[in-house]
Amino acid sequence: MTDYHVFDLGDFTFQHGATLRGAKLAYQTYGTLADDKNNAIVFPTYYSGRHWDNEWLIGEGMALDPSTYFIIVPDMFGNGLSSSPSNTPAPYDRARFPDVTMYDNVRAQHRLVTEQFGIEKLPMVTGWSMGAGQTYQWGVAYPDMVKRIAPFCGSTVTSEHNFVFLEGVKAALTADEAFRGGWYDVQPTKGLRAAGRVYAGWGFSQAFYWQQLYKQLGYSSLEDFLIGFWEGFFLNGLDANNLLTMLWTWQQADVGKTPGFDGDTKAALAAIKAKTLAMPGEKDLYFPPEDEEWASQFIPHGEVRVIPGVWGHFAGGGANPVDIAFIDSALKELLAD
Q: Are 92 and 18 in contact (CB under 8 A)?
A: yes
Cβ proximity of 104 and 110 under 8 Å: no
Active-site residue flag, 129:
yes
Shortest separation between residue 219's beta carbon and its own copies, angstroms = 12
Q: Which one of the listed residues 51, 110, 205, 313 is annotated catalytic?
A: 313
For its own copies, the closer of residues 164 and 325 by Cβ is 164
Choose between 171 and 325: whose C-beta lies nearer to its own copies. 171
CB of 286 to its own copies, least distance (A): 8
Annotation marks residue 313 as catalytic: yes
**Residue 159 annotated in active site:** no
d(CA 97, CA 250): 16
Backbone angles phi, psi at 146, to 5 degrees: -105, 120
Question: Using CA atoms, how far apart are residues 30 and 14, in angstroms rounded to an integer?
Answer: 28
- Write down the least CB distance from residue 25 to its own copies, Å: 32
Element (H, E) at 71: strand 70-74
Closest to its own copies by CB, 66 vs 201, is: 201
Sequence-ordered list of residues with C-beta below 8 angstroms from that of 146, at least 6 positions apart, any chain: 122, 124, 125, 138, 139, 273, 274
CB 240 within 8 Å of CB 187 = yes
State the nearest-atom distance from the C-beta of 172 to its own copies, in Å: 4
Q: Which of 254, 284, 291, 323 is catalytic?
A: 284
Contacts with its own copies by CB under 8 A lie at: 159-165, 167-168, 170-177, 190-191, 193-194, 197-202, 204-210, 212, 222, 226, 285-286, 288, 290
- Nearer to its own copies among residue 104 and residue 284 (C-beta): 284
CB of 98 to its own copies, least distance (A): 22
The DSSP code sequence of 187-207 is: --HHHHHHHHHHHHHHHS-HH
CA-nearest of 231, 241, 243, 177 to 203 is 231
Cβ nearer to its own copies, comparing 44 with 288:
288
- Catalytic entry in 83, 129, 155, 205: 129
Residues classed as catalytic: 129, 284, 313
